[in-house]
Structure 1
Amino acid sequence: MPILKDYIEKQAKTSFADLPLNELDIIAINEIGYLSFDELAVATIDETTKIKIKDIDKNDPEDRRKTIYNYLITQERLELFEAIQASQRFEDLTLSHYVNEINKEFEKQFAAMVFTIPSINHVQIVFRGTDDSLIGWKEDFKLTYMSEIPAHRSAIHYVRDYVRNHPDQKIYLTGHSKGGNLALYASSFSLPSVQEKIKKVYLLDSPGIAEELLQRESYMVIRNKLVVVRPQESVVGVMLYCDVKPKVVKSLAFGVLQHKTCNWQVHLEGKLATVPSQTELSLSLEKTFRDWTRQLSKQDLKLVCDSFFDALIASGITSLNAFTFDEKSFMALFKVISSLNSIDQAKKAIMYKSIRQLIHDYTGYRKRDVSEKIQARISNILKKRPNQKLLQR
């Protein structure tokens, strides 16, 4: 079945007048926001830059074969980017307000940018998901015990500043993974004058927010503007809380690899290929994550997160790109595991309790699911065969 790139190529010569902006256009634009434009482009790209996507330096096929792919610059994303560059439909797609920050002191990773299609007055603020930095991944896991992380405040300020400088402009906010969480937070807890400028917020397999924040009046204002999209086997998107029914999409991949939007299946006329619900595994994980965060204290969750990531960083590992299948990487990982064994007994007990709780909750849900299905099947048999006394005993 087709994927995003196939849609972009199929509709390359179709104008927005003939095929209005749709969810696939929005998701494709969001996806190229993962690319490090400050590395791809010959010219310097920063928050003062305004440049058409088609004018960013293009790699010829020979150069692409020499590209060193990494966590952000994947082959699928580059191919999608090149398809957009070659598309007449996106000939005036423009990038501006590019920000890419990693602050080790405050453990913050934040990247955002604005994509504009002037011909249809479309403005889309894209928040990038987690990059390859360990700081970024540690910040992600902080979501389990902190209502607000440093990148949340940056996201609110970013949207506020854009709206302040463009007071008559309506905007879309989008993000995948942690980027969607930033879009959710920024839209939910901005000033009313900012919220009224937001048309829609797309959350693409993104973690939700803390349960208590769902009751805030400012969240309720934005709730009807949320578009939640998850793959069938969602793992990241079922973390934390979101009370908006998701649109569940098919994927070419399996398991956690369904997280990548480049693998999502589409209809070439401009719609996602959807299914009625997530898989049983994904639904079980959703329940498990919620119980885990309810039953463990925030202090316990913080200790687990800090101990693991601090051990990684102390070992000299600062990026996921450092993990390769060679002896050096395995030795570094072994040192991390060894360092966790050296922490004091009280902390170790909490870590083991956390892991046991996660496993217990997950396996408990799976057992209950199986038990309930068996009971339902027996009940159906009894209804169909009421005269068979043997089954009624």
Structure 2
Amino acid sequence: MTNMLTYVTEYQNMTFAQLPFNELDGVILAQLAYVDYNILQQQPQRQFSQIDSVTLLEKSVAQTWNPAANYALLLALRQSRRYQQLRWSNWVQHTNVAVEEQFSAVTLTFAPHRYYIAFRGTTATLMDWKEDFNMTFLDTIPSQRTAQRYYDKAAREFPGRYYLGGHSKGGNLASYVVAHSRGALQDAIVSAYSADGPGLKTPLSPQIKQKIHKFIPEASIIGLLLEPGLDYQVVKSNATGIKQHDPYTWQIQDRKFELVATPSHLSQFTQHSVAGWLDNLDDATKQEFLDSLYALFAATKYQRIDDFTTSWRSTLKLLAPELLNTKHETRQQWRHVTGQLLNSVLHEAKNVLDENRPHLRK
């Protein structure tokens, strides 16, 4: 399998002067937003090449979506001449329950006066998923505003050339910062990399488009959410379904991602169905529906998504009384919203059938 780890190993002796920063570097560094720097900071060094404890490296990625691959990445970076200057600073991580925000970012220096700000994507916490869903009815979510402030402060304190990026929600945050930066702060941004991150709901200007490099896998669902245009490239993946959301499954060729023409039919079908569903609901209805659903799951006292899947029998027992105690108006709203989703799915299915009928007749 040829993926990002292969790239780090094969080109470990080529400096950025010999092989300029590219899309693979952009997505690789985005993965470093998931590292728990609170663990790595047990050592005084802030440079990956100087970390001598493999135990700390392993612990720092233990809670990520793909611990084995992230651990292998850290080991490869540690031995790479290309990334020998790579160091981290200004790591922040905070959760604000009141405004439903979960944010984390880190600044990575990979060459003199060359910085990469990695915004963390969606984690396995219920709060993080709720903030993602809030994008459907809010013009701006709290993490987007925090990401803008984080970049503004970094660019003013450390002048230089900036690259931004992130996976999933992190890609959305990076795109948001590019789209909303002005003047010298805009000029300092070289490019941004969104690895299967949701869109910004509105079309972007040509100036902004040329700076944002968005990649989605063939079976993308998350990366096509709130995406109004076709400003993305589709990457071949060796996984199936939602597992393609993991960039380590993305294939590379000739120091670039291996591309395919379009997302899969199922991915496009899902995108159009969800887009139609959201268009049929006003923002107040979206908010009420998501708030009530979040409150229902929060009442179980579970805080992580994997708690719901690994303890599904216990989850059902906890949810049953909460469902019974839900107000009649709330249950009616759920029926309305889910009914609209079903209508959107059926409408999209009819459109697909109508498009294929001429081919079926042949």
TM-score (structure 2 length as normaliser): 0.92
The residue that corresponds to 1:388 in the other structure is none
Q: Per-residue deviation at 1:32?
A: 2.1
Q: How far apart are the structure 2 equivalents of 1:171 and 1:337?
A: 50
Give 2:315's aligned residue.
Answer: 332
1:200–1:247: structure 2 CA closer, same or farther, 3 Å change rule? same
Q: CA deviation at 1:220?
A: 5.5
The SS at the match of 2:54 is coil
- Taking the aligned partners of 1:149 and 1:245, their CA distance within structure 2 comes to 22
Q: Out of 269, 273, 277, which is 1:284 matched to?
A: 269
Structure 2 unpaired stretches of 5+? none
| Counterpart position of 1:364 | 347
Q: Return the offset for 1:69.
A: 3.8
Question: Counterpart in 1 of 2:358?
Answer: 375
Moved over 6 A (4+): none
Matches within 5 A, 1:210-359: 210-211=201-202, 214=203, 221-267=207-253, 269-323=254-308, 325-326=310-311, 329-359=312-342
Partner of 1:156: 148
Which secondary structure state, in structure 2, belongs to the residue aligned with residue 51 of structure 1? coil
Q: For 2:40 and 2:66, locate their aligned partners in 1 and report how far apart those are by CA, in whole Å.
A: 9
* Per-residue deviation, 1:57: 4.9
Once the two structures are TM-superposed, the CA of residue 244 in structure 1 deviates from its matched residue by 4.5
Give the match's secondary structure for 1:113: strand
Cα pair 1:141 1:305 within 8 Å, conserved: yes
Provide the rounded CA distance (Å) in 2 between the counterparts of 1:109 and 1:234.
Answer: 23
Task: Answer yes or no: is 1:98 the counterpart of 2:91.
Answer: yes
Shift of 1:98: 0.7
Q: For 1:5, give the aligned amino acid.
A: L
Aligned to 1:85: 78
TM-score between the two structures when normalised by the length of structure 1: 0.85
2:21 aligns with 21
Residue 355 of structure 1 and its aligned partner are, at CA, apart by 1.7
Asked if 2 retains the 8 angstrom alpha-carbon contact of 1:41 and 1:56, the reply is no
Q: Say which of 187, 195, 198 aligns to 2:178.
A: 187
**Mapping 1:129-144, distance limit 5 Å:** 129-144=121-136
Rounded Cα–Cα distance in structure 1 between residues aligned with 2:317 and 2:186:
48
Report the residue type matching 1:322 in the other structure: D
1:197 counterpart (188, 205, 216): 188
C-alpha contact (below 8 Å) 2:198/2:222 kept by paired residues: yes
For each residue in 1:172-226, what CA deviation from the matched residue of structure 2 results, as whole angstroms up to 9, or x when unmatched?
1111111111112122122333112111121111111234xx37xxx56423211
CA spacing shift, 1:151–1:57, aligned 2, 3 Å: farther
1:284 Cα offset (Å)? 1.4
Residue type of the alignment partner of 1:292:
W
The Cα of 1:280 is off from its aligned counterpart by 0.8
Name the aligned partner's letter for residue 85 of structure 1: R
Q: How many residues align?
A: 362
**Which piece of structure 1 moves more, 90-99 or 73-82?**
73-82
Shift of 1:144: 0.8
Q: Match of 1:125?
A: 117
Contact 1:99 1:111 in 2 (8 A): yes
Q: Is the 8 A contact 1:173 1:201 kept in 2?
A: yes
SS of equivalent residue, structure 2 residue 2: coil
The percent identity for this pair of structures is 27
Residue 240 of structure 1: SS of its match in structure 2?
coil
What is the aligned counterpart of 2:167 among 176, 187, 203? Answer: 176
Distance 1:274 1:341 in 2: 49
Question: Over aligned residue pairs, what C-alpha RMSD do you find?
Answer: 2.4
Structure 1's 333 and 52: CA in aligned 2 closer, same or farther, altered over 3 A? farther
Distance 2:19 2:104 in 1: 30
Please tell me whether the aligned partners of residues 102 and 109 of structure 1 are also in contact (alpha carbons under 8 angstroms).
Answer: yes
The 3 A distance-change label for structure 1 pair 113 and 194 is same
Indicate the structure (1 or 2) with the bigger Cα radius of gyration: 1
Indicate how the Cα distance of structure 1 residues 341 and 300 shifts in structure 2: closer, same or farther if over 3 A, else same: farther
